[in-house]
Chains A and B, each alone.
Chain A
Amino acid sequence: MSTEQELERVVIRFAGDSGDGMQLTGTEFTKAAAEAGNDIATFPDFPAEIRAPAGSLAGVSGFQLHFSSTEIYTPGDAPDVLVVMNPAALKSNLKDLPDGGTLIANSGTFIEANLKKAGYATNPLEDGSLAKYKLNAVDISQLTLTALDGTDLSTKEKGRSKNFFALGLVFWMYGRDTEPEIRRIYQQFAKKPGLGDANVKVFKAGYHYGETAEVFQTQYKVPPAQFKPGMYRNITGNEALAIGLVAGAQFAGKSLFYSGYPITPASSILHSLAKYKNFGTVTFQAEDEIAAVGAAIGAAYGGAVAVTASSGPGVALKGEAIGLGIMTELPLVIVNVQRGGPSTGLPTKTEQSDLNQAIYGRNGEAPCPVIAAKSPGDSFYAAIEAVKVATKYMVPVFLLSDGYIANGSEPWPLPDLRALPKFEVLHRTDPNGYFVYQRDPETLARAWVIPGTPGLEHRIGGIEKDALTGNISYDPANHEKQTHVRAEKVARVAQEIGAPDIFGDKTGDVLVLGWGGTFGALRQAASAVRAQGKKVSHYHLRWLNPLEPALDEIVRGFKHVLVAELNMGQLRHIVRDRYLIDAVGLNKIQGQPFKVREVVAAIEKLLESPAKQPAAAGNGQEYVIQ
Chain B
Amino acid sequence: MSDAAKKPIKLGKKDFESDQDVRWCPGCGDYAILATVQRALAQIGVKRESTVFVSGIGCSSRFPYYMNTYGFHSIHGRAPAIASGLKIARPELDVWVITGDGDGLSIGGNHLLHALRRNMDLKILLFNNQIYGLTKGQYSPTSAIGTRAASTPVGSVDYPVAPATIALGAGATFVARVADTDAKTMLGILERAYQHKGSVFIEILQNCPVFNDGIWDTVKDDPTGHQMHLAEGKPLRFGENGKHGIKLDAEMRPHVVEVGDGPGLTPESELLVHKEQGSTAYAFLLASLMQPDFPVPVGVLHRDPKPSYEQMAIQQVADAKAKQGEGDLEKLLYSGMVWEVGADGVKH
Contact = CB atoms under 8 A, between A and B. Distances in A.
A234 interface: yes
B343 interface: yes
Interface in A277-332: 277-282, 284, 286-288, 290-292, 294-304, 306, 320-321, 323-324, 328
Interface residues of A, number: 74
Given A279-B327, A282-B313, A461-B64, A295 B342 contact: no
A34 interface: yes
Contact of A232 (B111, B326, B341): B341
A63 B90 CA distance: 44
A257 interface: yes
Contacts of B323: 278
Contacts of B92: 452
Contact of A229 (B82, B110, B342): B342
B52 interface: yes
B337 interface: yes
Nearest to B314: A282
B85 A298 contact: yes
B327 to A, nearest CB: 3
A235 B330 CA distance: 15
B49 A452 contact: yes
Interface in A140-189: none
Interface string B304-332: 00000000011011011101111101101
A255 B57 CA distance: 30
A278 B319 CA distance: 8
A617 interface: no
A277 B49 contact: no
Contacts of A457: 48-49, 68-71
B112 to A, nearest CB: 10
Contacts of B93: 302, 451-452
B327 A227 contact: no
A331 to B, nearest CB: 13
Contacts of B113: 287
A291 B75 contact: no
A225 B82 CA distance: 50
Interface stretch (A5-13, A243-251, A502-510): A243-251
B281 interface: no
A579 interface: no
Contacts, number: 226
Given A35-B339, A232-B340, A243-B332, A299 B326 contact: no
Interface centre among A281, A282, A471 (most CB of B within 10 A): A282
B231 interface: no
Given A452-B92, A458-B70, A229 B81 contact: no
Interface residues of B, number: 67
A224 to B, nearest CB: 5
Nearest to A283: B313
Interface in B55-86: 57, 64-65, 67-75, 78, 80-86
Contact of B110 (A291, A302, A458): A291
B90 A452 contact: yes
B25 interface: no
A138 interface: no
Given A232-B339, A282-B317, A299 B89 contact: yes
A459 B64 contact: yes
A304 B89 contact: yes
B75 A321 contact: yes
B338 A459 contact: no
B120 to A, nearest CB: 10
B170 to A, nearest CB: 11
Interface of A: 31, 34-37, 224-235, 243, 246-247, 250, 255, 257, 259, 276-282, 284, 286-288, 290-292, 294-304, 306, 320-321, 323-324, 328, 414-415, 417, 450-463, 471-472
18 contacts: A232-B341, A232-B347, A233-B335, A257-B88, A277-B316, A278-B323, A280-B327, A286-B81, A294-B74, A295-B81, A298-B87, A299-B89, A320-B75, A417-B329, A417-B333, A455-B49, A462-B74, A463-B73
Interface of B: 18, 20, 47-50, 52, 54, 57, 64-65, 67-75, 78, 80-90, 92-93, 110-111, 113-114, 313-314, 316-317, 319-321, 323-327, 329-330, 332-343, 345-347
